[in-house]
Amino acid sequence: MKRTFFWSASFALFLSSLPGLAQAHFPWLVRGDHGKLIYYFGEGIADQSYKMPDSLAGGKFVELSLDGKTTPLTLNKIETADLVGCTSDKPVSRDGLFVAEATYGVYKGTRLQYISMHQSHAPYVARQPIAEPSKLPKLFAEIIDTEEGIDVYAWNAGKPFAKTKVTLYNSTGDELASGDTNDDGKVAFEDKILRQGVLGIMFGTSDPSAGQLHDTRYETESTYFTATFLAPELPTQDVTKRLPPLPFPTTSFGAVHTDHYLYVYGGNTGDAHSYSEEGQSNKLLELDLQNTSPQWREIAIGDRLQGLGMVAHGSKLILIGGFSAKNKAGDPQDLHSQASVQAFDRKTKTWSKLPSLPEPRSSHDAAIIGDTIYVVGGWAMAGKEETKWHETAWSMNLSDEQPKWNAIPNPPFVRRAVATVAHHGKIFVIGGMDKKGPTKEVAIYDPATKSWTESTSLLGDQAMAGFGAAGWSLNGSLFVSTHEGDMLRWDDSTKKWDLIGRSISPRFFHRFLPIDSKVLVSIGGASMEEGKFVQLEAFAIRDRE
């Protein structure tokens, strides 16, 4: 897709006179990793490493409400290998509207002014009252989520900005579409052209307003407006309504998607951090996604387990490790990690045993590539004995005549509560907790080279974002759902995570599984604020390009 920077006709002559490099660089404002506000001068939303002009770095930064009230913000200059610009010292709200205003200077008789906006909340589904439009920045935009896509309402000097061209960009700075506003200042962009993640818009105006800036005379004043926002989610209400809630709340369970079924096994059904035999599930549940009115069915009973790994292989559902509570409710906790590996055959409806793990293990995760299972992370609990954090990792090839567990190189970390996902022939071990506390770190194991690589950490405001995260690889893309509610997609080309959406019910110790080629669902899990969830939350995936 071409990368184009195009404005209304009033800019055409002026822009043609700019140097080639400057012609494509404009200031952008986004909410970055750790929740901090980032202001930079780039050739698109993704370009954060071009030199920031001092005149822009000294601009005015505020959080803005639609009644015109502003809260000043302080952004300080920063220069790293990946980011050159300004950033806030502290995280900013996930539900805010932020504006940067700066004067670049005078160029060829024109005073250049920039207004950049970032909307950290999801687009509204209806226009909100604007009490005093005159108090808004000179250029401003409302971004509204509609059934057909998005509507952009452009403002100029407190009035609807009619007959101006608005251009829409994806997260890499490629042009998706452009259109002229009507008499109400509105231009509509259809849902089919939108892309997931952060989107941007741009428009501008030029006025014959003469004056003087720092002893330099100008004859016209040109103002450019850029805005960034998170693409609205594709409609999933019908999907969510069709999917029944879990028959009981559960966390730290095993789950897989295979063929056209979802399977859930075990988990903690009791209170958080209160473990007992009665509070652990031993049920295997099945949901037929091809059924027009699907219902969860209990298809088998097994051991009471939580903190286990679960994979599908052919007709078999394989449970790996986990821990069992030996105590009754109200008694002192007596928790034991298990080494058992069990397979349930969906055709014969019978259980069988596979070789046990070399060591009891729970709070780990498992993934499968072809015929080979990989188990990483976790610890071993043994009642009153000291809990042992595992430094090892294992694999087992199910196609071997006599399958057995084989050690793979020790990971460069010791973590539990991880998410382990097979993606493009590699094993991604995501987030979790080490002995110091929660982490967003990610490591990748390559079976072809038998080597580990430390990778880019998850996005998120706090380290807790990676604790009890969940992930799945779908249609060649790796997706992760975090404790903070962020929906992330791994970019194989840049080796970075992209924010593509946010959950309406953030959770951890859940599972994130597909129900078709375009929709993932969050299953089970809990939040510290709301407790355990039984309702599934659907998340539709847009095309990347």
Would 1 be classed as within a structural domain? no
Domain co-membership, 51 together with 128: yes
Residue 19 has pLDDT above 60, yes or no: no
Whether residue 188 sits in one domain with residue 273: no
Per-residue pLDDT tens over the stretch 151-174: 999 999 999 999 999 999 999 899
Q: Does residue 173 sit in the same domain as residue 305? A: no
Q: 304: domain range?
A: 237-540
- Asked if 212 and 244 sit in the same domain, the reply is no
Contact indicator for 225, 141 with CB cutoff of 8 Å: yes
Q: How high is the pLDDT of residue 134?
A: 87
The verdict on 115 and 260 lying in the same domain is no
pLDDT at residue 237 is higher than 70: no
Of 205, 230, 255, which one is at a domain's C-terminal end? 230
For residue 515, name the pLDDT band (cuts at 50, 70, 90).
very high
The reported pLDDT for the residue numbered 544 is 67
Which of 170, 198, 230 lies at the terminal end of a domain, its last residue?
230
544 or 316, which is more confident? Answer: 316
Distance (Å, rounded) from C-alpha 71 to C-alpha 60? 11
Tokens 């071009």 -> residue: 50
Identify whether residues 242 and 225 lie together within a single domain: no
Residue 44, SS3 per DSSP: coil
How many other CB atoms are there within 10 angstroms of residue 293's CB atom? 7
Beta bridge partners of 520: 514, 539
Query: What average pLDDT does this structure show over 286-290?
Result: 97
Whether 224 and 241 share a structural domain: no
Q: Is the pLDDT of residue 24 over 90?
A: no
> What gap in Å lies between CA 406 and CA 107, rounded to an integer?
67
Pair (253, 355) in one structural domain: yes
Domain shared by 473 and 376, yes or no: yes
Q: How many domains, in total, are found in the chain?
A: 2
Pair (358, 392) in one structural domain: yes
pLDDT digits (tens, 9 = 90+) for 353-411: 999 999 999 999 999 999 999 999 999 999 999 999 999 999 999 999 999 999 999 99
- Please check whether residue 269 lies inside any domain of the structure: yes
Residues 409-458: tens digit of each pLDDT: 999 999 999 999 999 999 999 999 999 999 999 999 999 999 999 999 99
Is 257 in contact with 288 (CB distance < 8 Å)?
Answer: no
186 and 254 in a single domain? The answer is no
CA dist 189 and 199 (Å) reads: 12
Of the two residues 209 and 100, the one the predictor is more confident about is 100
CB < 8 Å & 24+ apart, contacts of 70-78: 70/99, 73/37, 73/98, 75/37, 75/39, 75/100, 77/52
Q: Are 342 and 318 in contact (CB under 8 A)?
A: yes
Q: Does residue 4 carry a pLDDT above 90? A: no
Residues 74 and 176 in one domain: yes
**pLDDT beyond 90 at 240:** no
The secondary element (H helix, E strand) that includes residue 471 is strand 470-474
**Neighbour count for residue 196 (Cβ, 10 Å):** 25
